[in-house]
Amino acid sequence: METVNTSTGVLGERSPSQTLKKLGLWLGENFLYLIIIVIFVAPLVWMVLGSLREEKEIFANLYPFTIHTFLPIQWTLDTYLDMFGISEIGIMYGLHFHRFMANSLFVSVAVVSCSLVFNTMGAYFFARLDFPFKNFLLIFVVATMLIPFQATIVPLYIVVSKLGMRDSFWGLIIPWFASPFVIFALAQFIKEIPKELDEAATIDGASLWGILWNVILPNAIPGIITMALLEFQFIWNLFYWPLIVINSPDLQMIQVAIANQTTQTQIFWGRTFAGSTLASLPVIIVFLALQKWYIQGVATTGLKG
């Protein structure tokens, strides 16, 4: 619609064939957009809608392909009651998904909190402070970005076991309390804060901590929130690390729980849909709500990190 409106007017008169061509272009473009949207969103819509219906209904409507392959005929929350162990079936199978969600939430919030404190300090150091071996330290930190995490997870596991943090929340939280990516992105944000502000504070006798707390922090809030979002998503979606570090079923995080649940009982599609929705929807909703900051964060860590 907009493309048509903005392009008329400047040249005034326009022949009908040109208008037709514009219209065709507009239709073509929006048709393409529609196809792209369907390809990228359909699997997730299928998942969410599939969790809101009886399991029988999912199987009954897969063939032939109709609108009800996606859209429930009878809407119900039964599968969620199963997953939370509220319904009879849920109790029978000993399901307690709220436990795994709480674990993931706790670990994610803990990591985000620690990481914000330590990474902001590190970012302040690189952006503003004076130190003899700063360039060496910079290389030391940058180089960690090149270490492939999943490929070196076996030795990381050896180290964490030696420290006695296996099978505990410590083992899930402590290794992640600092991140080179977050330090660099935040350092970029801090560099954009006018230096005069901290110089004025220094003259007023503020300490480095005082400047960080009273001058830098209030001005870096957008950057800090962006990084908190990215970090939360990273930890909430963590799979390989909790898979090997946690043995006790009660301490497990949600991604591992849903994967185990599915591989053991592949036939229960309704519950799989519900579990997958619970494991992914919180992050998707946060993303859609705070999209602008989120994308800005990805672009900053990507380009400047």
> By CB under 8 A, what part of segment 152-211 binds other proteins?
152-161, 163, 174-175, 177-178, 180, 183, 199, 202-203, 207-208
Q: How far is the CB of 43 from other proteins (least distance, A)?
A: 5
Of 20, 144, 191, 213, which lies in the binding site for other proteins, with binding defined by CB under 8 A? 144
Which residues are within 8 A (CB) of 299 and not within 5 positions of it... i.e. 6 or more apart?
none
CB atoms within 10 A of CB 144: 13
Does residue 25 belong to the site contacting other proteins (CB under 8 A)? no
Binding mask 280-299 for other proteins (x = CB under 8 A): x--xx--xx--x--xx--xx
Instruction: Please choose, out of 12-20, 62-70, 77-85, 92-100, the segment that lies near other proteins by the rule CB under 8 A.
Output: 62-70
CB atoms within 10 A of CB 209: 10
Q: Which is nearer to other proteins, 61 or 84 (CB)?
A: 61
Of 10, 67, 139, 303, which lies in the binding site for other proteins, with binding defined by CB under 8 A? 303
Does residue 272 belong to the site contacting other proteins (CB under 8 A)? yes
Q: How far is the CB of 164 from other proteins (least distance, A)?
A: 13
Does residue 239 belong to the site contacting other proteins (CB under 8 A)? yes
Of 236, 246, 252, 271, which lies in the binding site for other proteins, with binding defined by CB under 8 A? 236
Instruction: Please choose, out of 11-19, 92-100, 219-227, 256-264, the segment that lies near other proteins by the rule CB under 8 A.
Output: 256-264
Of 73, 102, 147, 289, which lies in the binding site for other proteins, with binding defined by CB under 8 A? 147
Of 13, 16, 17, 63, which lies in the binding site for other proteins, with binding defined by CB under 8 A? 63
> How many of the chain's residues bind other proteins (CB under 8 A)?
95
